[in-house]
Structure 1
Amino acid sequence: MSEQELQAQNLFDVSGFVAVVTGGGSGIGLMATQTLAANGARVYIIGRRQEVLNRVAERYSSKGQIFPIQGDISDTASIRAIAADLEKREEKGINILVNNSGVSPELKAKEESTQIDFTDPHAVGQWMVRDGVEAWRESYAGNVAAHHFLTAALLPLLRKGGQAIPGHSSAIINISSAAGITKTHSQGQFAYSSSKAAFLHLTKEWAHTFVPLRIRANCIAPGLFPTEMTTGVSDENQKSRLEGAGFHFPAGRVGKETDIGSALLYLASRAGTYVNGQVVHVDGGLLLKSPSTE
């Protein structure tokens, strides 16, 4: 192997690659989008809010290009439309799929999590179901099923993309959460955390299933990052802020763009072609201090 092949700009090169990022308009999805576009990839961002997608495309296109596709991946008809649109635009397929979008509907339980008397079974039982059955349906539909159906629809494009670039296998990168690994109650978000655990397992099932297709599936499990889910809002640049948080993590801070970007580039580029079915914990050391399943 030549010295040139070992240089970082070649190992982690994604220039000319085609990527699809769900929920690419804010939070971790935007971090992924920025990273891929800054390194020369052509990125399609999918989301329900057209104005947000347009804003991102206008502000963050650099070496690569960012194209908005409005769609709801929890709806099968919308998924078919997204797949058909991508097939028309990218005859040689796609190389990277980042399944990032997610939901966290247990707002009431989260608000009450610091007020629960954990020695009172009635109080704990009521708190566990505070947001009702619908929160469970929404969590599993948005955090697991939507990605499953979208990925199934895009498999032919991922297969084409892998065949178009010698030495690279198409990469699916799922964004789960450290909440799917820790044994804590996640502030009462039992539906959210268990759905993220399901997404971790689904990643491993996909990796095994897609071996004949030469499509890799890996997962990033982030810790605490500034997103609309954790802060509730984004600013005019579609960015969120978390002030005074993360000091109790070994890293001493919350996550930032470069943390997601470096892990994403590793899994998406030639550097990660020998990695399949794995979970990368990008959590600032959270799992070193919290009881976890790993």
Structure 2
Amino acid sequence: MKNLFSLSGKVAVVTGGSRGLGAMIARGLVENGVKTYISARNKEELNATAKELNTLGECIAVVADLSTLAGIEEFAKTLNSHESKLDILVNNAGAAWGAPFADFPEQGWDKVMNLNAKSPFFVTQKLLPLLSASASSDRPARVINIASINGINNPRTNNYSYAASKAAVIQMTRHLAADLVKDHININAIAPGFFLSKLTKYLVNDQEALFAKKMVPKERLGQAEDIAGTAIYLSSQASSWMTGHTLVLDGGVIASSGYGEL
């Protein structure tokens, strides 16, 4: 059992891999011997992350706009031109939008739902042949969808489309896992709580220790090792019998029945 968490020699894709949780996951995979493709729209930022990760292993940048079906199809075409199989797909690309309910715009709904809920469905669909080429009954391919505790609990903020999209990701994970289990593709999700990223920086407001003590039972924010370690588990033989589930990674927020006082 000493190799239960070994990922050496595998091939992975991490969407939204240039920063935040995506970059944390990509780093964990690269450091564990995984040839990792990362995608994002910002070419300069993406290439900078790939350059950094290439000092640790093998990382390839692919510029892509996954908010449209055309962009997803072009992304899949690029991957197919480089790889004959894919072991791990991490659907992480996402966006958020906040506005009062009475003023919440259609643009803020459509932009977030397209990237957070529609994109992982069609990225998985278009990369299914590559995943199937890797999959077997004893070594299933893996899809990891990045959800959020906002899709489980009332976030008590006005990010309506974000919360709805992440709830959709959790249900989509269950649905697709059941449909693709006979294809030997395990599909699970991670629902992160508070990690310091572009999406949460406005909440933390440069007072990380105070915010964490007030909002998180374990009194700290999530760290790179937390999200990377969970993704490694879901990518490894250790989780080969697990599919259709969402792992809550939040320092005890959901278990403690919600957030602290805002």
TM-based fold match above 0.5: yes
1:160 and 1:76 map into 2 onto residues whose CA distance is 23
Letter in 1 for 2:119: A
Aligned amino acid, residue 146 of structure 2? I
CA contact (8 A) 1:162 1:169 kept: yes
1:59 Cα shift? 0.9
For 1:188, what is the secondary structure of its paired residue? coil
Kept after mapping to 2: 8 A contact 1:25/1:53: yes
Q: Please list the CA deviations of residues 191-239 of structure 1 after superposition, one character each: whole Å capped at 9, or x if unmatched.
A: 211111011000101101111211010000000001111126xxxxxxx
* Letter in structure 1 aligned against 2:128: L
Asked which structure has the greater CA Rg, the reply is: 1
- Residue of structure 1 equivalent to 2:101: 128
User: 1:182 maps to what in 2?
Assistant: 153
Aligned to 1:98: 90
Q: 2:120 aligns with which of 141, 147, 158?
A: 147
Partner of 1:57: 50
Alignment map for 1:113-262 (pairs within 5 Å): 127-163=100-136, 167-185=138-156, 187-231=157-201, 243-244=208-209, 245-248=211-214, 249-262=216-229
Residue identity in the other structure for 1:11: L
**Residue 89 of structure 1: which of 82, 87, 99 is its match?**
82
Render the CA deviation track for 1:224-283: whole Å, top value 9, x for unaligned. 001111126xxxxxxxx7623211322110000011011111100111101100110110
Counterpart Cα distance in 2 of 1:129 and 1:158 = 43
Equivalent position of 1:34 in the other structure: 27
Contact 2:155 2:163 survives alignment (8 Å): no
TM-score normalised according to structure 1 size: 0.83
Q: Which moved more, 1:264-273 or 1:129-138?
A: 129-138
The answer to whether the Cα contact below 8 Å between 2:109 and 2:161 also exists between their aligned partners in 1 is: yes
Aligned residue number for residue 12 of structure 2: 19
Aligned counterpart, 2:63: 70
Please give the secondary structure, in 2, of the residue aligned with 1:229: coil
In the alignment, residue 208 of structure 2 is paired with which amino acid?
E
Cα distance per residue 1:2-61 (max 9 Å; x no partner): xxxx12xx1111111000000000000001000000000000001101111110111122
Q: For 1:289 and 1:133, how far apart are their aligned partners in 2? A: 34
* TM value normalised by structure 2: 0.92
Q: Percent identity?
A: 34
Q: Answer whether contact 1:15 1:39 (CA < 8 A) is retained.
A: yes
Residue ranges of structure 2 left out of the alignment (5+ in a row): none
What is the CA RMSD across the aligned residues, in angstroms? 1.8
Partner of 1:282: 249
User: For residues 184 and 30 of structure 1, do their structure 2 counterparts lie closer, same or farther at Cα, with a shift above 3 Å needed?
Assistant: closer
Unaligned runs of 5+ in 1: 1-5, 110-126, 233-240
Corresponding letter in the other structure for 1:160: A
> CA shift at 1:62, angstroms?
4.3
Indicate conservation of the 8 Å contact 2:90/2:146, yes or no.
yes
How far 1:168 moved relative to its partner? 1.6
Q: Would the alpha carbon gap of residues 242 and 259 (structure 1) be closer, same or farther in structure 2, given more than 3 Å must change?
A: farther
Structure-1 residue corresponding to 2:37: 44
1:161-205 residue CA offsets vs partner (Å, 9 max, x unmatched): 224xx83210000000001111343x1112211111011000101
